[in-house]
Protein backbone atom coordinates (compact mmCIF):
# COMPACT_ATOMS: atom_id res chain seq x y z
CA UNK A 1 0.00 0.00 0.00
CA UNK A 2 0.99 3.65 -0.29
CA UNK A 3 2.60 5.64 2.48
CA UNK A 4 -0.70 7.43 3.00
CA UNK A 5 -2.48 4.08 3.61
CA UNK A 6 0.20 2.89 6.03
CA UNK A 7 -0.37 6.00 8.12
CA UNK A 8 -4.14 5.77 7.94
CA UNK A 9 -6.43 4.81 10.82
CA UNK A 10 -9.14 2.30 9.87
CA UNK A 11 -12.13 1.19 11.96
CA UNK A 12 -13.68 -2.19 11.17
CA UNK A 13 -17.27 -2.52 12.46
CA UNK A 14 -18.95 -5.94 12.30
CA UNK A 15 -20.90 -8.12 14.72
CA UNK A 16 -19.19 -11.14 13.17
CA UNK A 17 -15.97 -12.05 14.91
CA UNK A 18 -14.78 -13.86 11.78
CA UNK A 19 -15.06 -10.76 9.59
CA UNK A 20 -13.49 -8.53 12.25
CA UNK A 21 -10.48 -10.82 12.53
CA UNK A 22 -10.24 -11.23 8.75
CA UNK A 23 -10.16 -7.47 8.16
CA UNK A 24 -7.79 -6.86 11.05
CA UNK A 25 -5.36 -9.52 9.83
CA UNK A 26 -5.44 -8.31 6.22
CA UNK A 27 -4.89 -4.64 7.03
CA UNK A 28 -2.80 -4.74 10.19
CA UNK A 29 0.56 -4.44 8.42
CA UNK A 30 -0.35 -1.36 6.41
CA UNK A 31 -2.79 0.65 8.55
CA UNK A 32 -3.67 1.31 12.18
CA UNK A 33 -6.70 -0.93 12.61
CA UNK A 34 -9.28 -0.88 15.42
CA UNK A 35 -12.19 -3.33 15.48
CA UNK A 36 -15.64 -2.55 16.90
CA UNK A 37 -18.47 -4.98 17.59
CA UNK A 38 -21.27 -2.53 16.76
CA UNK A 39 -22.10 0.97 15.58
CA UNK A 40 -22.22 2.51 19.08
CA UNK A 41 -18.68 1.28 19.80
CA UNK A 42 -17.57 2.74 16.45
CA UNK A 43 -18.98 6.20 17.30
CA UNK A 44 -17.23 6.09 20.67
CA UNK A 45 -13.93 5.19 18.93
CA UNK A 46 -14.39 8.07 16.48
CA UNK A 47 -14.98 10.48 19.38
CA UNK A 48 -11.67 9.41 20.93
CA UNK A 49 -9.68 9.79 17.70
CA UNK A 50 -10.70 10.58 14.11
CA UNK A 51 -10.38 7.84 11.50
CA UNK A 52 -9.64 8.03 7.81
CA UNK A 53 -11.84 5.09 6.90
CA UNK A 54 -14.68 3.09 8.50
CA UNK A 55 -15.49 -0.37 7.10
CA UNK A 56 -18.91 -1.40 8.41
CA UNK A 57 -21.30 -4.26 7.92
CA UNK A 58 -24.62 -3.09 6.53
CA UNK A 59 -26.77 -5.39 8.67
CA UNK A 60 -26.07 -5.29 12.41
CA UNK A 61 -28.26 -5.45 15.52
CA UNK A 62 -29.00 -2.08 17.07
CA UNK A 63 -27.46 0.67 14.95
CA UNK A 64 -27.45 -0.53 11.34
CA UNK A 65 -24.66 0.19 8.88
CA UNK A 66 -26.84 2.75 7.08
CA UNK A 67 -27.69 4.47 10.36
CA UNK A 68 -24.00 4.50 11.27
CA UNK A 69 -23.17 6.01 7.88
CA UNK A 70 -25.64 8.85 8.43
CA UNK A 71 -24.26 9.50 11.94
CA UNK A 72 -20.67 9.58 10.65
CA UNK A 73 -21.58 12.01 7.88
CA UNK A 74 -23.27 14.29 10.39
CA UNK A 75 -20.84 14.02 13.32
CA UNK A 76 -17.52 13.21 11.60
CA UNK A 77 -17.65 14.76 8.12
CA UNK A 78 -14.75 13.87 5.88
CA UNK A 79 -14.48 10.26 7.10
CA UNK A 80 -14.76 7.71 4.27
CA UNK A 81 -17.11 4.74 4.74
CA UNK A 82 -17.01 1.38 2.95
CA UNK A 83 -20.04 -0.92 3.31
CA UNK A 84 -19.87 -4.74 3.71
CA UNK A 85 -22.99 -6.38 2.33
CA UNK A 86 -24.35 -9.82 1.52
CA UNK A 87 -25.41 -10.67 -2.02
CA UNK A 88 -29.08 -10.38 -1.13
CA UNK A 89 -28.72 -6.79 -0.02
CA UNK A 90 -26.87 -5.26 -2.96
CA UNK A 91 -29.73 -2.83 -3.49
CA UNK A 92 -29.21 -1.60 0.09
CA UNK A 93 -25.50 -1.14 -0.65
CA UNK A 94 -26.34 0.97 -3.69
CA UNK A 95 -28.66 3.03 -1.51
CA UNK A 96 -25.76 3.49 0.89
CA UNK A 97 -23.61 4.76 -1.99
CA UNK A 98 -26.28 7.31 -2.81
CA UNK A 99 -26.28 8.35 0.84
CA UNK A 100 -22.55 8.97 0.77
CA UNK A 101 -20.66 5.70 1.20
CA UNK A 102 -17.38 5.59 -0.71
CA UNK A 103 -17.60 1.95 -1.87
CA UNK A 104 -19.00 -1.47 -0.95
CA UNK A 105 -17.69 -5.05 -0.73
CA UNK A 106 -19.86 -8.14 -1.05
CA UNK A 107 -19.66 -10.94 1.47
CA UNK A 108 -18.08 -13.39 1.77
CA UNK A 109 -15.11 -11.04 1.94
CA UNK A 110 -11.74 -12.05 0.52
CA UNK A 111 -8.59 -10.50 1.95
CA UNK A 112 -7.29 -9.44 -1.47
CA UNK A 113 -10.56 -7.69 -2.34
CA UNK A 114 -10.58 -5.90 1.00
CA UNK A 115 -6.98 -4.70 0.58
CA UNK A 116 -7.71 -3.50 -2.97
CA UNK A 117 -10.78 -1.48 -1.95
CA UNK A 118 -9.06 0.03 1.08
CA UNK A 119 -5.98 0.94 -0.95
CA UNK A 120 -8.15 2.50 -3.66
CA UNK A 121 -10.20 4.44 -1.11
CA UNK A 122 -7.20 5.74 0.82
CA UNK A 123 -5.35 6.58 -2.40
CA UNK A 124 -8.31 8.62 -3.62
CA UNK A 125 -8.54 10.25 -0.20
CA UNK A 126 -4.84 11.17 -0.29
CA UNK A 127 -5.29 12.67 -3.77
CA UNK A 128 -8.24 14.78 -2.63
CA UNK A 129 -6.31 15.97 0.42
CA UNK A 130 -3.32 16.86 -1.76
CA UNK A 131 -5.59 18.83 -4.11
CA UNK A 132 -7.07 20.67 -1.12
CA UNK A 133 -3.57 21.41 0.17
CA UNK A 134 -2.45 22.76 -3.20
CA UNK A 135 -5.63 24.84 -3.49
CA UNK A 136 -5.05 26.31 -0.01
CA UNK A 137 -1.41 27.02 -0.82
CA UNK A 138 -2.38 28.82 -4.02
CA UNK A 139 -4.88 30.92 -2.09
CA UNK A 140 -2.24 31.75 0.54
CA UNK A 141 0.35 32.61 -2.12
CA UNK A 142 -2.16 34.95 -3.74
CA UNK A 143 -3.02 36.55 -0.38
CA UNK A 144 0.69 36.96 0.47
CA UNK A 145 1.02 39.41 -2.42
CA UNK A 146 -0.39 41.97 0.01
CA UNK A 147 2.97 41.80 1.83
CA UNK A 148 4.88 43.08 -1.21
CA UNK A 149 4.21 46.82 -0.71
CA UNK A 150 5.03 46.67 3.04
CA UNK A 151 8.19 48.73 3.53
CA UNK A 152 7.99 49.23 7.29
CA UNK A 153 8.48 46.40 9.83
CA UNK A 154 5.24 47.34 11.60
CA UNK A 155 3.33 46.90 8.34
CA UNK A 156 4.99 43.53 7.65
CA UNK A 157 4.00 42.16 11.05
CA UNK A 158 0.49 43.65 10.89
CA UNK A 159 -0.32 42.24 7.44
CA UNK A 160 1.53 39.00 8.21
CA UNK A 161 -0.53 38.49 11.37
CA UNK A 162 -3.78 38.96 9.47
CA UNK A 163 -2.67 36.40 6.87
CA UNK A 164 -1.61 33.83 9.48
CA UNK A 165 -4.88 34.16 11.40
CA UNK A 166 -6.81 33.62 8.20
CA UNK A 167 -4.64 30.63 7.22
CA UNK A 168 -5.26 28.78 10.52
CA UNK A 169 -8.84 29.88 11.14
CA UNK A 170 -8.24 31.77 14.39
CA UNK A 171 -9.03 35.33 15.48
CA UNK A 172 -6.58 36.06 18.34
CA UNK A 173 -2.91 36.74 17.83
CA UNK A 174 -0.08 39.24 18.06
CA UNK A 175 3.05 40.37 16.29
CA UNK A 176 6.03 41.33 18.46
CA UNK A 177 9.09 42.81 16.80
CA UNK A 178 12.23 44.86 17.35
CA UNK A 179 12.02 48.48 16.33
CA UNK A 180 15.53 49.31 15.16
CA UNK A 181 14.75 53.03 15.16
CA UNK A 182 13.46 52.87 18.76
CA UNK A 183 15.67 50.32 20.50
CA UNK A 184 14.33 50.87 24.01
CA UNK A 185 10.94 49.33 23.27
CA UNK A 186 9.57 46.63 20.98
CA UNK A 187 6.73 47.05 18.51
CA UNK A 188 3.45 45.21 19.14
CA UNK A 189 0.43 44.66 16.95
CA UNK A 190 -2.63 42.75 18.26
CA UNK A 191 -5.78 41.19 16.85
CA UNK A 192 -8.85 39.89 18.68
CA UNK A 193 -8.01 41.06 22.23
CA UNK A 194 -10.00 43.45 24.38
CA UNK A 195 -8.67 46.94 25.07
CA UNK A 196 -7.63 45.96 28.61
CA UNK A 197 -5.92 42.76 27.41
CA UNK A 198 -4.04 44.64 24.73
CA UNK A 199 -2.93 47.29 27.23
CA UNK A 200 -1.57 44.62 29.57
CA UNK A 201 0.25 42.90 26.72
CA UNK A 202 1.78 46.17 25.54
CA UNK A 203 3.12 46.90 29.02
CA UNK A 204 4.58 43.40 29.46
CA UNK A 205 5.86 42.70 25.96
CA UNK A 206 6.64 46.01 24.29
CA UNK A 207 7.77 48.08 27.26
CA UNK A 208 9.01 45.70 29.96
CA UNK A 209 10.27 43.30 27.24
CA UNK A 210 9.54 40.15 29.26
CA UNK A 211 10.19 38.07 26.12
CA UNK A 212 13.69 37.93 24.59
CA UNK A 213 13.05 38.13 20.88
CA UNK A 214 16.65 37.36 19.97
CA UNK A 215 16.50 34.05 21.84
CA UNK A 216 13.19 33.09 20.25
CA UNK A 217 14.22 33.77 16.68
CA UNK A 218 17.38 31.71 17.11
CA UNK A 219 15.46 28.64 18.26
CA UNK A 220 14.26 27.71 14.80
CA UNK A 221 13.08 29.13 11.52
CA UNK A 222 9.84 27.17 11.10
CA UNK A 223 6.43 27.22 12.76
CA UNK A 224 6.58 26.12 16.40
CA UNK A 225 3.91 24.93 18.86
CA UNK A 226 4.47 26.20 22.43
CA UNK A 227 2.74 25.15 25.63
CA UNK A 228 4.88 27.04 28.17
CA UNK A 229 7.42 29.84 28.61
CA UNK A 230 7.56 33.62 29.25
CA UNK A 231 5.19 34.39 26.39
CA UNK A 232 2.62 32.06 27.94
CA UNK A 233 2.97 33.77 31.28
CA UNK A 234 2.58 37.23 29.73
CA UNK A 235 -0.67 36.18 28.04
CA UNK A 236 -2.05 34.62 31.19
CA UNK A 237 -1.07 37.64 33.31
CA UNK A 238 -3.05 39.69 30.80
CA UNK A 239 -6.15 37.58 31.52
CA UNK A 240 -6.05 35.59 28.26
CA UNK A 241 -7.02 31.90 28.33
CA UNK A 242 -4.44 29.92 26.36
CA UNK A 243 -3.42 26.25 26.12
CA UNK A 244 -1.21 26.31 23.04
CA UNK A 245 0.55 28.98 20.99
CA UNK A 246 1.57 28.86 17.36
CA UNK A 247 4.83 30.85 17.17
CA UNK A 248 6.41 31.92 13.87
CA UNK A 249 9.88 33.50 14.07
CA UNK A 250 10.41 36.08 11.32
CA UNK A 251 13.87 37.48 10.65
CA UNK A 252 15.14 40.01 8.17
CA UNK A 253 18.70 40.09 6.90
CA UNK A 254 20.25 42.18 9.66
CA UNK A 255 18.60 43.96 12.58
CA UNK A 256 14.91 43.38 11.88
CA UNK A 257 13.33 40.40 13.66
CA UNK A 258 10.20 39.39 15.52
CA UNK A 259 7.51 36.75 15.96
CA UNK A 260 3.95 36.16 14.82
CA UNK A 261 1.89 34.44 17.52
CA UNK A 262 -1.56 32.79 17.28
CA UNK A 263 -3.64 31.74 20.32
CA UNK A 264 -5.21 28.26 20.05
CA UNK A 265 -8.70 29.41 21.21
CA UNK A 266 -9.48 25.93 22.59
CA UNK A 267 -8.52 23.99 19.45
CA UNK A 268 -5.13 22.36 18.93
CA UNK A 269 -3.13 23.25 15.83
CA UNK A 270 -2.85 20.41 13.32
CA UNK A 271 -0.05 19.68 10.87
CA UNK A 272 -1.90 21.26 7.93
CA UNK A 273 -2.36 24.52 9.84
CA UNK A 274 1.31 24.57 10.81
CA UNK A 275 2.23 24.11 7.15
CA UNK A 276 -0.03 26.95 5.97
CA UNK A 277 1.22 29.25 8.71
CA UNK A 278 4.83 28.48 7.82
CA UNK A 279 4.12 29.40 4.22
CA UNK A 280 3.00 32.85 5.36
CA UNK A 281 6.05 33.09 7.63
CA UNK A 282 8.37 32.56 4.67
CA UNK A 283 6.76 35.38 2.68
CA UNK A 284 6.79 37.68 5.72
CA UNK A 285 10.54 37.05 6.14
CA UNK A 286 11.15 38.05 2.51
CA UNK A 287 9.11 41.23 3.00
CA UNK A 288 10.98 42.02 6.20
CA UNK A 289 14.30 41.75 4.38
CA UNK A 290 12.95 44.10 1.71
CA UNK A 291 11.82 46.54 4.40
CA UNK A 292 15.28 46.37 5.94
CA UNK A 293 16.95 47.19 2.63
CA UNK A 294 14.51 50.02 2.10
CA UNK A 295 15.23 51.41 5.57
CA UNK A 296 18.97 51.38 4.95
CA UNK A 297 18.53 53.16 1.63
CA UNK A 298 16.10 55.63 3.17
CA UNK A 299 18.44 56.30 6.09
CA UNK A 300 21.26 57.08 3.68
CA UNK A 301 19.01 59.48 1.80
CA UNK A 302 17.44 61.03 4.90
CA UNK A 303 20.42 61.23 7.29
CA UNK A 304 22.54 64.34 7.73
CA UNK A 305 26.23 63.54 7.17
CA UNK A 306 27.55 65.83 9.92
CA UNK A 307 25.15 65.19 12.82
CA UNK A 308 23.81 61.72 11.81
CA UNK A 309 20.24 62.80 12.57
CA UNK A 310 17.50 63.30 9.99
CA UNK A 311 17.96 65.93 7.31
CA UNK A 312 15.56 68.47 5.85
CA UNK A 313 14.25 66.05 3.21
CA UNK A 314 13.07 63.63 5.87
CA UNK A 315 11.67 66.47 7.97
CA UNK A 316 9.43 67.65 5.14
CA UNK A 317 8.04 64.13 4.57
CA UNK A 318 7.55 63.58 8.30
CA UNK A 319 5.67 66.86 8.65
CA UNK A 320 3.29 65.94 5.84
CA UNK A 321 2.63 62.57 7.46
CA UNK A 322 2.07 63.97 10.96
CA UNK A 323 -0.17 66.78 9.72
CA UNK A 324 -2.35 64.25 7.88
CA UNK A 325 -2.58 62.15 11.03
CA UNK A 326 -3.41 65.13 13.23
CA UNK A 327 -6.07 66.27 10.78
CA UNK A 328 -7.59 62.77 10.54
CA UNK A 329 -7.85 62.32 14.31
CA UNK A 330 -8.52 65.98 15.11
CA UNK A 331 -5.25 66.12 17.02
CA UNK A 332 -2.47 68.65 17.31
CA UNK A 333 1.27 68.95 16.86
CA UNK A 334 3.91 71.62 17.32
CA UNK A 335 7.05 72.58 15.44
CA UNK A 336 10.18 73.98 17.09
CA UNK A 337 12.62 75.95 14.95
CA UNK A 338 15.99 76.32 16.71
CA UNK A 339 19.05 78.34 15.72
CA UNK A 340 22.37 78.65 17.59
CA UNK A 341 23.17 82.24 18.52
CA UNK A 342 26.28 83.68 16.86
CA UNK A 343 27.42 80.26 15.67
CA UNK A 344 29.42 81.92 12.87
CA UNK A 345 31.92 83.08 15.50
CA UNK A 346 32.65 79.44 16.41
CA UNK A 347 33.56 78.64 12.81
CA UNK A 348 35.54 81.85 12.41
CA UNK A 349 37.57 81.49 15.63
CA UNK A 350 37.90 77.70 15.94
CA UNK A 351 37.47 76.37 12.42
CA UNK A 352 34.80 74.29 10.72
CA UNK A 353 35.99 71.00 12.23
CA UNK A 354 35.26 72.31 15.73
CA UNK A 355 32.01 73.76 14.40
CA UNK A 356 30.94 70.35 13.09
CA UNK A 357 31.87 68.78 16.44
CA UNK A 358 29.67 71.32 18.23
CA UNK A 359 26.75 70.51 15.92
CA UNK A 360 27.10 66.80 16.67
CA UNK A 361 27.13 67.51 20.41
CA UNK A 362 24.07 69.71 20.03
CA UNK A 363 22.27 66.90 18.16
CA UNK A 364 22.84 64.53 21.09
CA UNK A 365 21.58 67.15 23.56
CA UNK A 366 18.42 67.71 21.53
CA UNK A 367 17.81 63.97 21.16
CA UNK A 368 17.83 63.65 24.95
CA UNK A 369 15.35 66.52 25.31
CA UNK A 370 12.56 65.07 23.17
CA UNK A 371 10.54 61.85 23.11
CA UNK A 372 11.20 58.88 20.87
CA UNK A 373 7.98 59.55 18.96
CA UNK A 374 9.12 63.10 18.09
CA UNK A 375 11.20 63.94 15.02
CA UNK A 376 14.49 65.84 15.21
CA UNK A 377 16.17 67.04 12.02
CA UNK A 378 18.94 69.38 10.95
CA UNK A 379 17.23 71.89 8.71
CA UNK A 380 20.48 73.39 7.47
CA UNK A 381 23.60 75.10 8.84
CA UNK A 382 23.08 75.54 12.56
CA UNK A 383 19.27 75.39 12.29
CA UNK A 384 17.38 72.43 13.76
CA UNK A 385 13.70 71.56 13.60
CA UNK A 386 11.69 69.35 15.96
CA UNK A 387 8.20 67.94 15.37
CA UNK A 388 6.38 67.32 18.67
CA UNK A 389 3.45 64.98 17.98
CA UNK A 390 0.23 65.29 19.99
CA UNK A 391 1.61 68.49 21.58
CA UNK A 392 -0.38 71.75 21.69
CA UNK A 393 1.28 75.13 22.15
CA UNK A 394 1.70 75.24 25.95
CA UNK A 395 3.55 71.89 26.36
CA UNK A 396 5.62 72.70 23.28
CA UNK A 397 6.74 75.97 24.87
CA UNK A 398 7.80 74.00 27.97
CA UNK A 399 9.91 71.68 25.83
CA UNK A 400 11.44 74.62 23.99
CA UNK A 401 12.35 76.30 27.28
CA UNK A 402 13.92 73.08 28.57
CA UNK A 403 16.01 72.88 25.41
CA UNK A 404 17.07 76.52 25.72
CA UNK A 405 18.26 76.00 29.32
CA UNK A 406 20.01 72.73 28.48
CA UNK A 407 21.97 74.34 25.66
CA UNK A 408 22.89 77.39 27.77
CA UNK A 409 24.10 75.20 30.66
CA UNK A 410 26.15 72.83 28.53
CA UNK A 411 29.91 73.14 28.05
CA UNK A 412 30.63 72.25 24.43
CA UNK A 413 34.00 70.75 23.63
CA UNK A 414 36.25 73.10 21.66
CA UNK A 415 39.80 72.67 20.55
CA UNK A 416 42.70 72.10 22.95
CA UNK A 417 40.36 71.13 25.83
CA UNK A 418 38.66 74.50 25.57
CA UNK A 419 35.01 74.63 26.63
CA UNK A 420 32.58 76.66 24.55
CA UNK A 421 29.44 78.29 25.91
CA UNK A 422 26.58 78.74 23.46
CA UNK A 423 22.95 79.76 23.49
CA UNK A 424 20.07 79.24 21.12
CA UNK A 425 16.87 80.94 20.05
CA UNK A 426 13.72 78.84 19.57
CA UNK A 427 10.51 79.57 17.70
CA UNK A 428 7.32 77.55 18.31
CA UNK A 429 4.30 77.09 16.04
CA UNK A 430 1.36 74.70 16.54
CA UNK A 431 -1.15 72.94 14.30
CA UNK A 432 -3.84 74.03 13.63
CA UNK A 433 -3.60 77.33 15.54
CA UNK A 434 -0.70 78.84 13.58
CA UNK A 435 -1.13 77.00 10.29
CA UNK A 436 -2.63 73.89 8.72
CA UNK A 437 0.05 73.17 6.13
CA UNK A 438 3.71 72.24 6.31
CA UNK A 439 4.79 75.50 4.72
CA UNK A 440 2.63 77.66 7.00
CA UNK A 441 3.88 75.96 10.19
CA UNK A 442 7.56 76.12 9.22
CA UNK A 443 7.19 79.76 8.22
CA UNK A 444 5.45 80.64 11.50
CA UNK A 445 8.07 78.81 13.59
CA UNK A 446 10.92 80.41 11.61
CA UNK A 447 9.47 83.91 12.11
CA UNK A 448 8.99 83.24 15.82
CA UNK A 449 12.64 82.16 16.06
CA UNK A 450 13.80 85.38 14.39
CA UNK A 451 11.63 87.39 16.76
CA UNK A 452 13.42 85.65 19.67
CA UNK A 453 16.75 86.72 18.18
CA UNK A 454 15.55 90.28 17.69
CA UNK A 455 14.55 90.41 21.36
CA UNK A 456 18.06 89.59 22.56
CA UNK A 457 18.67 85.91 21.69
CA UNK A 458 18.73 82.98 24.13
CA UNK A 459 14.95 83.10 24.18
CA UNK A 460 11.83 81.14 23.25
CA UNK A 461 9.10 82.84 21.23
CA UNK A 462 5.69 81.55 20.15
CA UNK A 463 4.06 82.29 16.79
CA UNK A 464 1.19 83.67 18.89
CA UNK A 465 3.44 86.65 19.71
CA UNK A 466 3.86 87.64 16.07
CA UNK A 467 2.08 90.73 14.97
Q: Are residues 247 and 345 in the same domain?
A: no
Phi then psi for 279, rounded to 5 degrees?
-65, -45
- Kindly report, residue by residue over 397-441, the tens digit of the pLDDT: 999 999 999 999 999 987 766 789 999 999 999 999 999 999 999
Among the three residues 140, 160, 195, which one is the final residue of a domain in this structure? 140
> Which pLDDT score, from 0 to 100, does residue 182 have?
56
CA 301 to chain centre: 28
Q: Are residues 71 and 116 in the same domain?
A: yes
CATH number at residue 80: 3.40.50.2300
Q: Are residues 346 and 294 in the same domain?
A: no
Q: Are residues 253 and 343 in the same domain?
A: no
Q: Are residues 333 and 456 in the same domain?
A: yes
* Domain count for the chain: 3
Q: What is the 8-class DSSP label of residue 272? A: H
| Count, residues in the chain | 467
Q: What is the 8-class DSSP label of residue 464? A: G
Residue 305 covered by a domain: no
Helix, coil or strand: residue 54: strand
Among the three residues 108, 140, 172, which one is the final residue of a domain in this structure? 140
Alpha-carbon separation of residue 20 from 17, 112, 180 (angstroms): 5, 15, 65
What is the C-alpha to C-alpha distance for residues 144 and 224, in angstroms, rounded to an integer? 20
Among the three residues 299, 322, 337, which one is the final residue of a domain in this structure? 299
Q: Are residues 36 and 120 in the same domain?
A: yes
CATH number at residue 415: 3.30.70.270
CATH number at residue 166: 3.30.450.40
Residue 86 covered by a domain: yes
Q: Are residues 283 and 385 in the same domain?
A: no
Q: Are residues 183 and 237 in the same domain?
A: yes
Q: Could you tell me the mean pLDDT of each successive run of 10 residues in the chain, 467 residues long?
A: 59 90 84 91 93 90 90 91 75 77 85 87 84 82 89 90 95 88 72 93 85 69 87 92 94 84 94 91 92 81 88 92 90 96 90 92 93 91 94 95 96 80 96 95 96 95 91
Q: Are residues 281 and 370 in the same domain?
A: no
- Domain residue limits at 227: 148-299
Residue 357 covered by a domain: yes
Amino acid sequence: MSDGARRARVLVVDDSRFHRELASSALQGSARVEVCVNGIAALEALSREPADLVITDLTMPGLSGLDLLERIQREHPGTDVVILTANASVDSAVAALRTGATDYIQKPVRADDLILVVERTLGRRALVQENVRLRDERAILEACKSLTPCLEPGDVFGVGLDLVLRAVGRSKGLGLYHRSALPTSDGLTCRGFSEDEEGQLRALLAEEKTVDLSGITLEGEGAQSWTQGPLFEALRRSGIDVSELLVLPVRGGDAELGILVVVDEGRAFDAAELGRADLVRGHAAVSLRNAERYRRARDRAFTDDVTEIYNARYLLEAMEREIRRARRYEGTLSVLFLDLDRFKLVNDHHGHLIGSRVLRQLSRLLTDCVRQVDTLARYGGDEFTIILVDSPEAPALDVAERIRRTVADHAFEGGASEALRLTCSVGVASFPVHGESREALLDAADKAMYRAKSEGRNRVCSASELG
